[in-house]
Amino acid sequence: MPDTSSITGPSDTMGKNSHYQGFVKSGLSLGRKTNDKLDMIKMKLYNSLNTADIPGSLILWKQANLAKQSDPAIIEVWNHTQNYIMFLRQVLNIYSLDGKGKCVTSSVHVGKHLCNAFWNGYFMIYGDGNLNNYLQPFYRDPMIIYHELTHGLIQYNFPLEYFGESGAINEHVADAFSVIVQHYLDKSPPSEGRWNPGSKIITKRNMSLRTFDDSVAYDYAELGRDDQVKHAKDFYEEEEDFGGVHINSGILNHMFYTFCMELNENIWDKPLKIWFNALMNIRPNCNFEDFASLLAESCNDLYGEEALNILIKALSHVGIV
């Protein structure tokens, strides 16, 4: 993957250098009592009207006004964002991306034929996809929205540097959360849930922007070939892609998948709790080995030896231990 945002198309012009640079450490308000009504979720949605002017004009800020909208970009982005924020509240007891109820802002119809969606450090940006229709608008796949919103969650709460192994952990967490939220909303067991972020925007059949098993996500002329690696022996060590953040994240994704399939329980339960607990103790320059130790500690503390053995098997399957 060539760019700063997780999921990037070839005619992207805005993704470069737009990824957040700094990190704001803030405490998660786990356990905080809040009202779960939809109206309590603060969101704002803007329309850039196919210019580079972001965020653009304010279109929607109240659930009650959603019914008046007819633009699918506005309706879908609003609903999927709301689902993500509700997931954080219901499953992790976190109030919005920063844990303090911060308003989540999104801007749709950004640029002309922008094949991208990304978190720019302050809000969400959505392009409309490209001209010849091999990539649909990125909001068409809610898993991409969940991935990008997770970059916001990480920015506010987990100080992972966006380079090399810590950057690959960042990308992996965004990918893993996209799957977890989707499984949660679909109430799917691991063997039946979606593991293919981006499949709804690639118009070619049976392709996606990510896979978690050991298959290649995409391979065709316009997009090129998926270059994610699935085993530590294939670790990418060059400088491109911020030191391979979107390439080496595949190793952790495959490990996560292997663990979840073997555990065979809902992934928004034990796997999410293990991963989240590990993230609470993460350092900015955390490498894969440190991350594996944090996961193992978290797994053992929360669920004991049986789960730990499955995790160690998954880590060994991808060559991390």
Contacts with Zn ion, residue ranges (CB under 5 A):
6, 171, 174
Least Å from the CB of residue 215 to Zn ion: 20
Least Å from the CB of residue 5 to Zn ion: 6
Q: Between 195 and 303, name the residue whose CB sits nearer to Zn ion.
A: 195
Contact, 257 vs 313, CB < 8 A? no
Q: Which residue has the closest beta carbon to Zn ion?
A: 6
Least Å from the CB of residue 221 to Zn ion: 24
Identify the CA nearest to 270 among candidates 282, 283, 284, 256. Answer: 256
Whether residue 55 is preceded by a cis peptide bond, meaning omega within 30 degrees of 0, is yes
Q: Between 172 and 317, name the residue whose CB sits nearer to Zn ion.
A: 172
Q: Between 73 and 174, name the residue whose CB sits nearer to Zn ion.
A: 174
Q: Which residues contact 46 (CB under 8 A, 6 or more apart)?
A: 54, 55, 56, 57, 58, 59, 105, 106, 107, 108
CA distance 41 to 218: 36
Least Å from the CB of residue 275 to Zn ion: 16
Contact, 148 vs 86, CB < 8 A? no
Q: Between 253 and 266, name the residue whose CB sits nearer to Zn ion.
A: 253
For the chain, first and last CA: distance in Å? Answer: 26
Least Å from the CB of residue 148 to Zn ion: 7
Whose tokens are 């911020």? That residue is 242
Which residue spans within 136-275 are E strands per DSSP?
A: 219-220, 224-225
CA distance 98 to 29: 9
Q: Between 249 and 258, name the residue whose CB sits nearer to Zn ion.
A: 249
Identify the CA nearest to 10 among candidates 129, 108, 162. Answer: 129
Q: Between 171 and 241, name the residue whose CB sits nearer to Zn ion.
A: 171
Least Å from the CB of residue 288 to Zn ion: 17
Q: Between 47 and 116, name the residue whose CB sits nearer to Zn ion.
A: 116
φ, ψ of residue 278 to 5 degrees: the values are: -65, -40
Least Å from the CB of residue 40 to Zn ion: 28
